[in-house]
Amino acid sequence: MAAGDFLLGKDLGAYRIDVTIGSGATGVVYRATPHAGGPPVALKVLHDNLGSITGLERRFKREARVLKKLSHPNIVEISEFGMEDGRTFIAMELLEGQTLEERLEESPLEPQEALRIYEPILEALAVAHEHDVVHRDLKPANVFLEKNGGVKLLDFGLAKMLSIDETASEDGTLTRKGRIVGTPAYMAPEQITGVFIDVRADVYALGVMLYELLADRRPFLYERRSELLRAHLLEPVKPIAQARDGLWVHEKLATLIERSLAKDAGKRFKSAKEMLEALRALPPDPVRFDITVTRKMARQRTGPSSAVISATERKLITESAGFSSVQVSPDVAAAPITPPVTPTAPSQERATLRLPRPPKEETPAVPTAALFVIAILLLGTAAGLWAMLVAT
């Protein structure tokens, strides 16, 4: 029996579970029928180790209320969040089509098709970012291409809900261990180090996705997770125009991608809205292939699953790369995603990546001024001796 099949034919909340659609690191998705009638829904049931914690219910519902307000044609519609018999589930509209990940498995995208898919993603995120909602797990597997040509974002906010490792203690309170949930291939540097995350982490993931759609490969192709995370922290990204034979990219588009992939969040676009404005300001046909679109080697898959990265693993990676591993404070990490009163707009400009400190320059044992005086005295003495020798 496959994982999650034990729920087939059973009831969960107001739904009857019919068939398994798919599964990943965070849960299993089913096709389910509402008892009250109406069209079937996609029901995502979180894995027991993620959704069965008693103290998680309040936080889950609080975040869910905010996410339900994100009504946009390019964001999957969420109809209900619930918990029953220790299982946490999300009911959302049932879509027909395939994920962007599945589409990329078939063949490379033509330039215009890539931009046609990409712009609605930015439009949806622009609305979310205006509400201070961060997706945190942007990737092709969380983009759905409908049969009618529509584009939908999936799993909005789920990574944030699961980003803090919460376990119930004996007195009913929660302890936080600082784990993060996300996909390493698209993870922003500050997300890896544990610095406070804002919408610019999504901007970085958007940069990785656009690079991938145009170059048919991601900026970093390491198989080992530790090497991949270190690359996000340290390695420069190969210019997009050099990433694929026959690819021509207008310099303004290349600059857009380079800016979105800046290691320092303070140098990226402030939000998806600003990035969308830059994309729309590009000249016509800013990218093309000068040769037939083919794939010389198998595409490196990321799959649908996110990774759960512990605080210990994150610390080892960041410190080995020469960075300070910073824990997000419990108050910040557990805060709701409603628009905060602070920080103010200027503070949003601050950098969130702590760079390794350069080695301190050694201070000379003798001050420079003293060395200069000594040199003058030595020259004077030498000149006097020379004069005496000449006189004799």
Q: Which whole number is the average pLDDT over 203-221?
A: 96
Can you tell me whether residue 115 is helix, strand or coil? helix
The tokens of 206 are what?
Answer: 């958007």
What are the structural domain ranges in the chain? 1-94, 97-349
Percent of the chain with pLDDT over 70: 67
- Provide the angle, in degrees to the nearest 10, between the axes of the packed helices 272-280 and 111-130: 140
Confidence category of residue 305, pLDDT binned at 50, 70, 90: low
According to CATH, the topology of domain 1-94 is Phosphorylase Kinase; domain 1 (3.30.200)
| Stronger pLDDT, 198 or 160, i.e. the higher one | 198
Residue 186 DSSP code:
G
Q: Is the pLDDT of residue 355 over 70?
A: no
Can you tell me whether residue 286 is helix, strand or coil? coil
Q: Is the pLDDT of residue 174 over 90?
A: no
Q: Is the pLDDT of residue 313 over 70?
A: yes
Confidence category of residue 299, pLDDT binned at 50, 70, 90: confident
Distance CA 228, CA 292 (A): 30
Q: Specify whether the CB–CB gap between 61 and 141 falls below 8 A.
A: no
Residue-level pLDDT at 350: 41
Catalytic residues: 137
CATH class of 97-349: mainly alpha
Distance CA 97, CA 150 (A): 9
Residue 261 DSSP code:
T
Q: Which of 81-85, 249-253, 348-352 has the highest mean pLDDT?
A: 249-253
Please count the other Cβ atoms lying within 10 Å of the Cβ belonging to residue 316.
13
pLDDT tens column, 120-168? 999 999 999 998 888 988 999 999 999 999 999 988 766 566 554 433 3
The pTM assigned to this predicted structure is 0.76
Q: Is the pLDDT of residue 15 over 80?
A: yes
Q: Specify whether the CB–CB gap between 33 and 15 falls below 8 A.
A: yes
